[in-house]
Structure 1
Amino acid sequence: MTVPPRTLLIVWHSRTGAAEALARAAGDGAGAAGRLLPASACQPADLIAAAGYLFVGPENLGALSGVLKEMFDRCYYPLLGAIEGRAYATIVAAGSDGSGAQRQIDRIVTGWRLRRVAEPLIVNLAAQTPQQIMAPKTVPAPALAEARTLGQALASGLELGVF
């Protein structure tokens, strides 16, 4: 009898391609244990079915992107008391800072009583002008490698029961 993998749900939203590229890199690292899901499609049942989470999105105007925030709004109350103690980590694609979006995610998941199991990964893409901010992004290879490593570490930790 084979035991199904403990799924790492990678919930992502991207406006310019950076967060999507980071989510896909993390998914590559997670292998068969990873499940990529756009935030717009994520439902409470998806979160219940997973053993841990990686939330990936852009920081927009110093805050969490609207689509990722809407996923938390939609799923928050149905999951209260249902996913406590599960592991989570985050990746934020930022133009200059990323800490606002990072803090916002941490505040939201505090209500779910999730456990952060990896340091936040904030990828600063140095987009400062309106043209740079709105342009499609190419994520540097070292940042993609960090995301891949994070996905692998999370999936391994879940599989081994470390978290």
Structure 2
Amino acid sequence: MTRLLILYHSRTGGTAAMAQAAFEAAEPEARTRLLRAEAAGPDDLLAAEGYLFAAPENLAALSGPMKDLFDRCYYPLLDRVQGRPFALMVCAGTDGQGAIRQMRRIATGWRLREVAEPVLILTGAQTPEAILAPKHLSPTQLAPCRELGAAMAAGLSLGIF
């Protein structure tokens, strides 16, 4: 059975909900592992055949713990994961494009192959209170995450990716 790794970072729960929704949809199709970025290392990525990266955008960039994962794993994985499929999910207040660009650049460095358009969920949070508040995403907001998780798992299982 193929292996999909969903790696995520979440501080206020929005990205965690996105990753969980993708995981639940992917699990029946492929052996899927859901892992926080802080707990992951090169061996976890080497054991998977495809990746779904999920992170919040902080200050127009990728969140620190997700960036740290890429920093810690970059050299150990260089020339060892090229060609593997990946997709992205980002939770942001009103933009999200900075985090998407940054993750795409890192994936390009690893020579990964993007197989789906990113899922971007905008919460509209702009005030310090709203930014720091726990995020509760609606079923409608989470639907694209479920679709992406299912598509990644099916693509891996069928050998499309």
TM range (shorter): over 0.9
Amino acid at match of 1:77: Y
CA distance in 2, matches of 1:60, 1:40: 16
Shift of 1:34: 1.6
RMSD of aligned C-alpha atoms? 0.7
Unaligned runs of 5+ in 2: none
Report percent identity of matched pairs.
56
The alignment status of 1:97 with 2:95, answered yes or no, reads yes
Amino acid at match of 1:11: L
Q: Can you list the C-alpha shifts for 1:88-131, whole angstroms capped at 9, x where unaligned?
A: 00000000100000000000111110000000111001001110
Q: Which residue of 1 aligns with 2:125?
A: 127
Q: Which residue of 2 aligns with 1:137?
A: 135
Shift of 1:142: 1.2
CA distance in 2, matches of 1:147, 1:34: 15
Q: Which residue of 1 aligns with 2:64?
A: 66
Please state whether the residue corresponding to 2:90 is helix, strand or coil.
strand
CA distance in 1, matches of 2:112, 2:100: 14
CA distance in 1, matches of 2:71, 2:17: 24
Q: Can you list the C-alpha shifts for 1:61-99, whole angstroms capped at 9, x where unaligned?
A: 110000000000000000000000000000000001000
CA distance in 2, matches of 1:160, 1:94: 32
TM-score (norm 2): 0.97
The alignment status of 1:24 with 2:20, answered yes or no, reads yes
Please state whether the residue corresponding to 2:121 is helix, strand or coil.
strand
Query: When the two structures are aligned, how many residues end up with a matched partner?
Result: 159
Please state whether the residue corresponding to 1:59 is helix, strand or coil.
strand
Q: Which residue of 2 aligns with 1:14?
A: 10
Shift of 1:141: 1.2
CA distance in 2, matches of 1:30, 1:45: 21
TM-score (norm 1): 0.96
4+ aligned runs moved over 2 Å, structure 1: none
Please state whether the residue corresponding to 1:14 is helix, strand or coil.
coil
